Amino acid sequence: MNSELVRSCFAKQFDGATGKLFASPGRINLIGEHTDYNGGFVFPGAIDKGMIAEIQPNGTDKVRAFSIDLNDFAEFGLNEEDAPKASWARYIFGVCREMIKRGVDVKGFNTAFAGDVPLGAGMSSSAALESTYAFALNKLFGEDKIDKFELAKVGQSTEHNYCGVNCGIMDQFASVFGKKDQLIRLDCRSLEYQYFPFHPQGYRLVLVDSVVKHELASSAYNKRRQSCETTVAAIQKKHPHVEFLRDCNMQMLEEVKDIVSAEDYMRSEYVIEEIQRVLDVCDALEIDDYETVGQKMYETHHGMSKLYEVSCEELDFLNDIAKECGVTGSRVMGGGFGGCTINLVKNELYDSFIAKAKEAFTTKFGREPKVYDVVISDGSRELV
């Protein structure tokens, strides 16, 4: 991430002024997709790519924001009716509003920001942006009184209330709580979490980006969530204690097979199995059993492709190539509908896998996939 660039653009935009710098990362997720809003487990880690923002209070009641990457400027007030039109600016506006709702006396500020986490690639660029501003506004206007979980929830509520995505808590949680070389298993119902040191001896984690953008996926995402909630409502009739799919097993799902639609059944089957897979992967990691980790990743891909139906031709193709090359584990990562596969590859297979993936993908789709090595890094912070 390039703080010099942000410094120089901020100075240019705001008459040579200097503010404070804040940064938050994107994330990977080893396993546990679409489980967060079902009260299940996720297993993410923050990465070395994210957003950096420079911010300086400006003594007015207006926010003046410059997106360096989009070369676009927006000015907006802090009241509910002041929402800006540009979607990138709505993230910042939403964070301001959510902080205000939590009692922080947010005032006007000047800001410029830039990032190196690719947009729409399933690495949570929007969560990185939200966490950066939530963390910064808490320091600048909130006397640091909002705790880290609430900062993650500020980002999540921004998505719900200002961006139209009914997401879970995983992305914002990982961005705020990330720690170098550690994955974090989060129980999304109790919000208990545990750091797991992650240095797979003899393996590398690599993302292969299909460069299919998932920007238009929010309505499909919300629809998946709706399916899960419909199934829960049906199961609750017989099992009133059930709150989430997390509380259900396959037998309970079987009981409502004739009541829910075939589609809702499939979606729920995937989620129930996926929640268990996270626990299996954590157990396998504890005994360095990477073969099992990899096998579970392939099972997740299969479920996301055939049951949850959030993969696409390009991602299925990359998954097949991984299998052919003997890659230990591979699957579509994040919400789906585009973006990356995450791959657990033996060191000695890395070069041949990447060469083959690039060549075969380019032959089939006429463009090269992008490749990102995963470096697990720290979460939200002030840069000094």
Where on the chain is the footprint of ligand GLA (CB under 6 A)? 33-34, 36-37, 124, 167-168, 170-171, 334-335
C-alpha 337/C-alpha 152 separation (Å) is: 24
Strand partners, 166: none
User: Is residue 102 exposed (0-12), middle (13-18) or buried (19+ Cβ within 10 Å)?
Assistant: middle
Assess whether 36 carries a catalytic annotation: no
Residue (37 or 113) nearer to ligand GLA, CB:
37
C-alpha 214/C-alpha 230 separation (Å) is: 25
Contact in structure between 297 and 329 (CB atoms under 8 Å): yes
Count other Cβ atoms within 10 Å, centred on residue 23: 24
- Classify residue 159 by its DSSP letter: I
Residue 48 beta carbon to ligand GLA: minimum distance, rounded to whole angstroms: 19
Residue (33 or 209) nearer to ligand GLA, CB:
33
Residue 314 beta carbon to ligand GLA: minimum distance, rounded to whole angstroms: 18
C-alpha 372/C-alpha 217 separation (Å) is: 23
Contact in structure between 72 and 86 (CB atoms under 8 Å): yes
Residue 197 beta carbon to ligand GLA: minimum distance, rounded to whole angstroms: 23
Contact in structure between 16 and 347 (CB atoms under 8 Å): no
- Cα atoms in the 13 Å half-sphere on the side-chain side of 332: 29
Report residue 311: phi and psi, to 5°. Answer: -95, -170
Residue 109 beta carbon to ligand GLA: minimum distance, rounded to whole angstroms: 26
Residue 34 beta carbon to ligand GLA: minimum distance, rounded to whole angstroms: 5
Residue (104 or 128) nearer to ligand GLA, CB:
128
C-alpha 185/C-alpha 42 separation (Å) is: 6
Contact in structure between 61 and 106 (CB atoms under 8 Å): no
Residue (66 or 91) nearer to ligand GLA, CB:
91
Segment holding 41, helix H or strand E: strand 41-42
Residue 159 beta carbon to ligand GLA: minimum distance, rounded to whole angstroms: 7
Contact in structure between 238 and 249 (CB atoms under 8 Å): no
Which member of 36, 48, 171, 264 is catalytic? 171
Coil/strand/helix, residue 113:
strand
Coil/strand/helix, residue 309:
coil
C-alpha 139/C-alpha 194 separation (Å) is: 26
Residue (21 or 376) nearer to ligand GLA, CB:
376
Residue (79 or 87) nearer to ligand GLA, CB:
87
C-alpha 152/C-alpha 138 separation (Å) is: 12
Residue 274 beta carbon to ligand GLA: minimum distance, rounded to whole angstroms: 9
Residue (37 or 88) nearer to ligand GLA, CB:
37
* Per-position DSSP letters for 117-138, written without gaps between them: SPTTSSS-HHHHHHHHHHHHHH
Residue (19 or 155) nearer to ligand GLA, CB:
155
C-alpha 327/C-alpha 324 separation (Å) is: 8
Residue 88 beta carbon to ligand GLA: minimum distance, rounded to whole angstroms: 17
Any idea which residues carry the catalytic annotation? 171
